[in-house]
Amino acid sequence: MKEQFDVVIVGGGMVGAAVACALGGSQLKVAVIESTPPEPFATEQPHDLRVSALSIASKNILETVGAWDGVVSRRLCPFRRMRVWETAGDTEFCSDDINYPELGYIVENRITQLALLERLQAFANIELICPVTITKINYTPGLDSTLELADGRILAAKVLVAADGGQSRVRQTVGLGVTSWDYQQHALVIYIETAYGQQDITWQRFVPSGPQAFLPLTGPYGSIVWYNSPDEINRLKNLPYDALKSELVKAFPDCLGEVVQVLGIASFPLKRQH
């Protein structure tokens, strides 16, 4: 038997959960489908490798839907300054220039997702269905969409929201095309401990081989993003951590400061898609 919803959101990540929270308290009956719940947060956990820089506008959205307190109660690193430079120019932005206490915040993606999922539990009109996988999506223009779930439930939706990532199954089902191309570059994310205390600046330097970026994390920690060719990133990520630290110090600007140790790495290809 079909269960009728006004809106079904496929994907309970940061985007899908934010959409759901924005619909919280409305007259609409909403379901959020997510296959994998995020791991619970504990303050003693090391930082995740997947982080995002949240702007003031992003913070305002999270405040509006009631999820910002859930971020603050877990972990975030505010930054006041942002420096961007290359050979021909050097610019530094400061929050004082716009009369704000911060320019933005570096937040682990999992923390943002947890705060949003926690918030949507407070809304009587929203049901979070997690963990569950979708076995079939039926879409016909002008009619309700139906989704068959692995647990046997069948959901009907007047509006179907695709928030299930770059390889969205919903997008493919409804026939929405994309334009994409590979940048022929990969990014190496390096989680480091520095000799500095908590920093309030994020920076990015542009060099011929690709950008080099630093994002501050809470305490004496930071996230490095190193862009380069796929072959070079593959070489770097296969080095022992001590050797990678030496390569990092040699290639990055002096403002990085002393790197105490490399704590974790991940890499991904760069692709544009819209």
Which residue segments constitute the domains of the chain, with CATH numbers given?
Answer: 2-65+112-174 (3.50.50.60), 180-273 (3.30.9.10)
Tens of pLDDT along 42-100?
999 999 999 999 999 999 999 999 999 999 999 999 999 999 999 889 999 999 999 99
Which residue from 191, 195, 181, 159 is spatially nearest to 272, judged by alpha carbons?
A: 181
**What's the gap between Cα 181 and its chain centre?**
21
pLDDT of 274 strictly over 90: no
Name the strand (E) or helix (H) holding 138.
strand 134-138
Tens of pLDDT along 100-118?
999 999 999 999 999 999 9
Q: What are the distances in angstroms from CA 245 to CA 223, 236, 253, 256? A: 13, 10, 13, 12
Contacts of 44 (CB under 8 A, 6+ apart): none
Confirm if 223 and 256 have CB atoms less than 8 A apart: no
What is the model's pTM? 0.95
Q: CA 56, 61, 66, 71 torsion: positive or negative?
A: negative
**Which residues sit opposite 47 in a β-bridge?**
none
Pairing of strands 2-10, 30-33: parallel
Angle at 16 between CA 11 and CA 17, to 5 degrees: 110
**Pairwise CA distance, residues 195 & 66, whole Å:** 36
Q: Which two tokens stand for residue 237?
A: 């990520």
Tens of pLDDT along 9-50?
999 999 999 999 999 999 999 999 999 999 999 999 999 999
Q: Which residue type sits at 112?
A: T
Query: Max alpha carbon distance in the chain (Å)?
Result: 65
Which residue from 79, 75, 72, 48 is spatially nearest to 204, judged by alpha carbons?
A: 79
Confidence class of residue 1 from pLDDT cuts 50, 70 and 90? confident
Pairing of strands 51-55, 104-108: antiparallel
